Structure 1
Amino acid sequence: MSSPHIAVYGATGHTGRLVAADLRARGRDVILAGRDAGALKALSDELGGAPVHQAALDDPAALRELAGRAAVLIHCAGPFTHTGKPVATAAAEAGCHYVDHALEQHHTKWMFDTMTEPARAAGVTMVTAMSFYGGLGDLLAGAVAAGMAGIERVVTAYAVSGWRLTTGARATAELLFADTQRITFADGVQRVGYVEPRNAVFPFPPPLGPRTMIAPVPFSEVVTVPRHVRTARVEAQLTAATFEEEQAFTSEHVDAATRAGSDFTVAVQVITEGGGRAGQARGRDLWRMSALTSVEAAVRLADGLGPDQPGVYSPAEAFPAEPFLRDLERLGLFTLSLEERR
C-alpha cells in the first residue's frame, strides 16, 4: 500500500527542493506543486519522477484540487504575507492537513484568528511557523519552560553567520523590517504598533559568548509562545552581525553548497523571579534544518500522529517540544542542550 501523498507547494524553491528530496528519500509519495510547470517537470525528472501540479496563487480551484490530492500540504513559497492566505484556505476547504514555513507575525496571527474554525470544521490540523526563524524558537521555549511556574519573560535569541538569502527570503526580510505595525507581547498583552528597535546584549553560552543583538526582531514567537507558555513577556532577538555580512543580501543565486554554509546558535532564556532556565541548539545549514523540520511535522500528520483535536497550532503546541527536538537532533540538524530541571 502506498503512503498518503504529501504535496509541496513552492517545490522548485531552495527550501521546497530540500523538502521534496527528503520526502522521497523517506519513501514518501510526493506531489510537486507551484506556479512554473516547466520547473516542476525538471524537478520531477531530477527526483526520478513524481506527480506535478501547476497552481497559481490566484487560481483557488487549482489550489483546492492540489489539496484534494494530498493528505498533507507543506507550503514553502514565501513571503507568506502574500502567499499564505490562498494556500491555507485551499487546504482547509479540501480537508487537507497543512504545514507552513512562515515567520511573519501577521500571517501567524491571521492563521490563528481566521483559520481555526475552518480547520476544526474540516477536521484537519494546520501547523504554522514550522521553520527555522520563529519555529525553532517556539520549540525551544516549549521544551525549556516545561513544568515551570511564575515565568516573567521568555527571550529567544538567534546567532546566525553565513546566511545567504533566497529571493523569497530577501523579500520577506524587506517586508518584516519595513513593517511599522509590529506585534509585541508584554505585560501579558498582545499589542500592535510601532516599535523602536534597540541594541541589546544576549549572553550566549560558550564558545559563542555575549553578542550584540537587534531587539526586538519581528518573528512569530510573540504570537506562538504565549499560547503554550504562561509568561508576561516574549521577545525575539537576532545578532546584529547577521545583516552586516554584505553577501547576505547579494547572494540570491549562489549554489546550494554555498547556501548550506550557515552556522547558527538559537538560545532561549526562560526567566522567573527566582532565576530561570535556558537551552540552545547549535548547528549548520539553517535551510536544511528548516526543511526537515517541516518534513518531520508533515510525516507525523500523514501518519495520524498529530494533535488529538483539529485546529491551528504552533510547532510546540502541535507536538511535544523536547521529543520533537530530540528527533531533529538525531537527524544531525543541531546539537541540543537543555539545562537540568530544578
Structure 2
Amino acid sequence: MDAPTIAIYGANGHTGRLVAAELLARGARVLLAGRNGAALDALAAELDASARDGAGAVPADGPARVRTRAVSLDDRDGLRGLAEESAVVVHCAGPFADTAVPVAEAAVAGRCHYLDHAVEPHPVKRLFDTMGAAAERAGIVMVPQLSFYGGVADLLAAAVTEGMTGVDRLTVGYSVTGWRMTPAAVRTAELLIGEIDRVTFADGAQRVGPVEIRNTVFPFPPPVGPRTMIAPFPSGEVVTIPRHVPARTVESQLTASTFEEQQVFTSQDATPEERARTEFTVAVQATAPEGGGRNGHVRGRDIWWVGALASAEAAVRLARGEGPSKAGVLGTAEAFPAVPFLRRLEQLGAFTLHL
C-alpha cells in the first residue's frame, strides 16, 4: 500500500522545512507547495536526497517521495487541486489572518484534512465560526493552531483538568527565552501588537473588543520560578480550550522578558541552528471554584521543531485514519486524546511532561 501524500503549504519556510523532514522520517510522501517554485524545487532535491539515504527510504527506482507544486493563495483551482491529491494539508505560511481562509476552503473543496500553525486568535476563531458545517459535510477534520503556541497548551489544559467538573480560572503561562522570529513571525507579531480588538474568554463568554494589557506574575515551577508576564498574550487557545474545559475564564500569558531580548525582532536571517536554541516552559494552572486546583507543565528546547513535530505526528495519524471519529473543526485536544498525544511527543524528545 502506498504511503499517504501530505501537502505542506509554505513548505520553503523554516516551519515548513521542519514539517517536511518529520513527515519523510515517518514514511509519508510530501507535496511541497507555495508561491516560489524555484525554492520549492531546491528544497525537494535536498529532502529527497536525504530521504533516499535514510533508514527505510524507498529504492532509487521507486516513486518519488517528494514533489512540488507552485500555487498562489489567489489560485483557487490550484489550491483545490493540491488538496485533492493529498490526504492532509499542513498550512505553515503566515500571517494566518491573511492566509488561513484560502487554504482551509481548498481543503474543504478537495475533501482533505487540514492542520495549521496559526497563533493569532482571530483566524482560529474564524475557522470555528465559518467552516464547521462545511468540514462536517466534507467528512474532514480541521485543526487550527496545531503547533507550539496553541496546540501544546490545548493538550496540556485537557490533561491537567481531566475529571474536574468545574474550573474557575485556567491560565496558560509561556516562558520563552532565545526566541528568534522568522520574517513571517515578525509580520504576525506586528499585527498582534497593533491589534485593538482582541479575543478573550471571561465569565463564561467569548468576547471580541479592546483589552487592557497588564503585567502580572505567573508561578512557574523551578528552575524558572515566578516571572513577570504580559497578559493577556494573544494566542488561539483562548478559543479552543473553553470548547472542552469547563472554565469560567481562560487566559494566556507570556514572560515579559521574552520581548526584551534584542534578537527577537532582528533575527529574520538567523540560521536553523540559532533558531533551535529557544528554551521554553509551558505551564497550565487550573483553579477550582471551591478553592485548590491542579497544574502541569512541559519543558524543552526549540519551539519551532516542537510545533513541527506535533503537526507532523497529527498529520500522519489523520492520513492513516487514526484521527477522531467526528468530522468538523476541532481543537487539538478534541481531535486527539491529550495525555497519550503528549506522552508520544515526550517520547519523541519534544519536551519533558510533568502532570
TM-score range, shorter chain: over 0.9
Distance, in Å, in 1 between the alignment partners of 2:4 and 2:224 is: 43
> In terms of mean alpha carbon deviation, does 76-85 or 24-33 score higher?
24-33
- Please state how far the C-alpha of 1:136 moved relative to its aligned partner: 1.2
- Please state how far the C-alpha of 1:274 moved relative to its aligned partner: 2.2
Tell me, yes or no, if the aligned pair for 1:9 and 1:34 is still in contact at 8 Å: yes
Q: Name the structure 1 match of 2:77.
A: 61
Moved over 3 A (4+): none
Distance, in Å, in 2 between the alignment partners of 1:161 and 1:35 is: 32
Letter in 2 for 1:46: E
- Please state how far the C-alpha of 1:127 moved relative to its aligned partner: 0.7
The SS at the match of 2:287 is: strand
Q: Name the structure 2 match of 1:74.
A: 90
- What percentage of residue pairs aligned between the two structures are identical? 59
The SS at the match of 1:246 is: coil
Q: Name the structure 2 match of 1:237.
A: 253
Mapping for residues 174-253 of structure 1, pairs under 5 Å:
174-253=190-269
Letter in 2 for 1:175: L
Letter in 1 for 2:177: S
CA deviation vs aligned residue, 1:88-145 (integer Å, no higher than 9, x gap):
0000011000101111111011111111011011110111110111111111101101
Aligned pair 1:153/2:169, yes or no? Answer: yes
The SS at the match of 2:264 is: helix
The SS at the match of 1:121 is: helix
Q: Name the structure 1 match of 2:135.
A: 119
- Please state how far the C-alpha of 1:150 moved relative to its aligned partner: 2.2
Tell me, yes or no, if the aligned pair for 1:103 and 1:135 is still in contact at 8 Å: no
Letter in 2 for 1:180: I
Letter in 1 for 2:305: R
Q: Name the structure 2 match of 1:327.
A: 344
Distance, in Å, in 2 between the alignment partners of 1:226 and 1:114 is: 18
Match of 1:265 among 278, 281, 287: 281
Q: Name the structure 2 match of 1:314.
A: 331
Distance, in Å, in 1 between the alignment partners of 2:237 and 2:274 is: 29
Distance, in Å, in 2 between the alignment partners of 1:218 and 1:21 is: 29
Q: Name the structure 1 match of 2:110.
A: 94
Q: Name the structure 1 match of 2:14.
A: 14
TM-score by length of 2: 0.94
Aligned pair 1:277/2:294, yes or no? Answer: yes
Q: Give the RMSD, CA atoms, in angstroms.
A: 0.7
CA deviation vs aligned residue, 1:59-100 (integer Å, no higher than 9, x gap):
111100100110000000011000000000000011000101
Aligned pair 1:46/2:11, yes or no? Answer: no
Q: Name the structure 2 match of 1:305.
A: 322
Letter in 1 for 2:317: R
TM-score by length of 1: 0.98
The SS at the match of 2:267 is: coil
Show structure 2 runs of 5+ residues with no match.
49-63
Distance, in Å, in 2 between the alignment partners of 1:312 and 1:237 is: 25
Q: Name the structure 2 match of 1:25.
A: 25
Show structure 1 runs of 5+ residues with no match.
none
Distance, in Å, in 1 between the alignment partners of 2:337 and 2:35 is: 35
Aligned residues, how many? 338
Distance, in Å, in 1 between the alignment partners of 2:252 and 2:219 is: 14
Q: Name the structure 1 match of 2:101.
A: 85
Q: Name the structure 2 match of 1:289.
A: 306
